[in-house]
Structure 1
C-alpha cells in the first residue's frame, strides 16, 4: 500500500518549483533523497525552510549540517493562535460549565482574537478589549492575557526583513516571555517552551525573511486538484453518464492506460515516466459515504494553468489520471 504521507522538496530561491517528492514522513527518507543528490549539490544549499517538525530538523542536521535551518513564521503564528483558542475554550467550560455558543461574548470574539492587532481597525480592537474586560474576571482577564502574549510574539516576528538590532529583538522577546511567565496559564507556558526550543530557527527567519511558502502553495494546489477530481464517475469529466457497474469498473481499472506513455505496473514507474511533465503529485486518503476507503493521486503538470484545469485536453488528461489511479488503488 502506498504511504499516504509524502515529503516534497521545493526550490525557494530560483523558481524551479518542486525538485522532488518521496514517499513516507521519516528522517531517513529525507536524508536518502538529499544524499542521492551528491555532495557538490548539497554544498550549495545555504538555507532550509521547514515547519516546526522535529523529523525534518533532525534530517537536515544530519544531511546538511552546514545549512541554516529556518522555521516558517506561519506555523509560529498558528501555534500562538492555537494557545489563545485553548485558553478560551478551557476557561469557558470551567466558568460556564459547557462549551461556548452564541450569546457568550468570548465565543463571538473567537475569530477576532486570532487576528493580528496590527491589521485591525480601532473600531474593532477597542470594543474587543472592552468586552473581554466586561466578562467575569476569571474568564475575561486570562483570555486577554493570552491575547496580549500572542500579540507580543507577533511583534517579534514583525521584525523580519527590517534588519533589527539584537537589543530590539531581545527586548520584544523578553516582553513575550514575561507575559507567559506571569500569566500562570499552562497553555502560555507550553507556548513559551516551544518558542525557546525553536528560537535559533525563528531568529534565522527574522534575520533572513525566508519562508516555505513555495512548498505550502504546492501542497495547496495538489489538494485542490484532488478535491476537483473526487466523485468523478467517468473517464471524461465532461461526460454526465452514470457510473458503470462494479464489474465494469474493475475491468476498466485493469485496462492499460491509453496515453502518450505506455501503461506501467506501479505508481512509482508511472510517476517516473511522467517526470518531465510533473510539477507536483501527492496521495490523499478519503472515505466515501458508504464507508469505503479510497486513495487518490493528484497530479499537476507544467502546462496546466491555475484556472480552468479541465477546460482543455491536457486538463482532461489530468482528471483521467486521477480517476484511473483511484480505481487501481482501492484496497
Structure 2
C-alpha cells in the first residue's frame, strides 16, 4: 500500500506514516556494508532518479547473485569511487568486469580504482541511443514531408522501434510500405537490425570485426546522424565488444530500476532522500514471509 493509502485508512498524517516506515526499514533491512563484501567477480552500475530527470542515485549490483550491494546519492565519479574505496584490496582485485552505460563518470571511476577490470558497455543502452537516432530521423522526415508523406508517417514510430519478428502481418505490411516510401528511414531501420546482430557474435574478436564493418557501412550511407553514431561506437569499441568475453548485460540492474520506477511513482511527494534509499534497498530484498500471514513462508 502507498503511504497515502495507509494515511487515509488509519486517519493519521502522511508524514507520520512515512517516519514509521522509515524507522522500521532502518531496523529491519540487512546492512549494505561494502567492507564485508567478498567474491565479487562481475558487477553492474547504473543511475536512477528519485524524481524524473533529477536528484540521481548510483546503484551497484552483484551480477552473479543479482543482489543490490550499494546505493548512494549522486552520480558523479566520486560517488562510485567512494564505494570502491570501502572494498578490501582482495575484493577489488577479484572484480573482472563492470557493466555500465556509456557515461564518462562511471568509466573514470572504474579506470582509477579497478585498472585491471574490463568495462562492458551495456547492450540495452547502446540500442537505446540508436532508438533515439531513429526517433530524430522520423521527426525530421515528418517535418520535411508532404501531406501524404506525413499521413504515411503518422503513428509509425513503434513499427520502427519494435523488433521485426514481433510484428504481426498487418504491421509488417505497413512497415514495408513506410520503408519503401522513405529511403533514409529504410537505411536507418535496416542498420538497426544489423546492429542488434553484433551481440550474437561468439567472441570478442568477431564482435570487433562485425562492429567495424557496421560502422563502415553506416558511414558509407552519408546520413550524418549514422556517421556520427558510428564514430561514437568506434570510440567505445573495446567496451562494447567486451560483451564477447563476458556475455554481461545490465539486465538485472534494469529489472531493479523498473521496481525503483514503480516505487518513485507511488512515492510522489517524498523529499527524504535517505528514506528513498531505504525503499530502494527494500525492493531488492525478496519476501520470505507473507505480509498478512507472517507464519507462512513464501517459496
For 1:150, the equivalent position in structure 2 comes to 192
**2:52 aligned with 1:10:** no
Higher relative contact order, structure no. (Cα contacts within 8 Å, ≥ 6 residues apart): 2
Cα pair 1:279 1:302 within 8 Å, conserved: no
The whole-number CA distance in structure 2 between the counterparts of 1:23 and 1:207 is 32
Change (3 A) 1:132 1:45: same
Query: What residue in structure 1 maps to residue 241 of structure 2?
Result: 203
1:164-175 superposed matches below 5 A = 164=203, 166=205, 168-169=206-207, 172-175=210-213
More helix by share: 2
RMSD: 3.3
The structure having more radius of gyration, on CA atoms, is 1
**Partner secondary structure for residue 248 of structure 2:** coil
Identify the match of residue 72 of structure 2 among 22, 29, 43.
Answer: 22
CA distance in 2, matches of 1:208, 1:186: 33
Q: Does 1:129 align with 2:176?
A: yes
User: How many angstroms does 1:267 deviate by?
Assistant: 6.4
1:119 Cα deviation from its structure 2 partner:
4.1
Cα deviation per residue 1:188-246 (whole Å; 9 max; x = unaligned)?
A: 112111111111111011332101122222222122123234479xxxxxxxxxxxxxx
Matching of residue 227 in structure 1 with residue 265 in structure 2: yes
Partner SS state of residue 102, structure 2: coil
Find the partner of 1:117 among 156, 159, 164: 164
Judge conservation of contact 1:222–1:280 (CA < 8 Å) in 2: yes
Distance 1:94 1:271 in 2: 45
Whole-angstrom CA distance in 1 between matches of 2:265 and 2:157: 28
Distance in 1 (alpha carbons) for counterparts of 2:191 and 2:141: 17
Q: CA deviation at 1:156?
A: 0.9
2:5 corresponds to:
none
Of 77, 81, 92, the residue aligned with 1:31 is: 81
TM-score (norm 2): 0.69
Instruction: Give the secondary-structure state (helix, strand or coil) at the position aligned to 1:4.
Output: strand
What is the alpha-carbon distance in structure 2 between the residues aligned to residue 223 and residue 123 of structure 1?
33
Among 279, 302, 310, the alignment partner of 2:285 is 302
| Equivalent position of 1:74 in the other structure | 124
Q: Which runs of 5+ in 2 are unaligned?
A: 1-49, 295-299
Question: Which residue among 45, 64, 72 is the counterpart of 2:114?
Answer: 64
Cα deviation code 1:57-102 (max 9, x no counterpart): 11100011111111110111111111111111112212349xx96x
Residue in structure 1 matched with residue 143 of structure 2 by the alignment: 93
Any gaps of 5 or more consecutive residues in structure 1? 233-265, 273-277, 282-298, 315-331
Q: Is the 8 A contact 1:18 1:280 kept in 2?
A: no
- How much does 1:172 deviate? 3.2
**Aligned equivalents of 1:172, 1:130: Cα separation in 2:** 29
User: How many equivalent residue pairs?
Assistant: 240
Displacement, 1:11?
0.6
Q: 2 CA distance for matches of 1:171 and 1:86?
A: 28
Give the secondary structure class of the aligned counterpart of 1:84.
helix
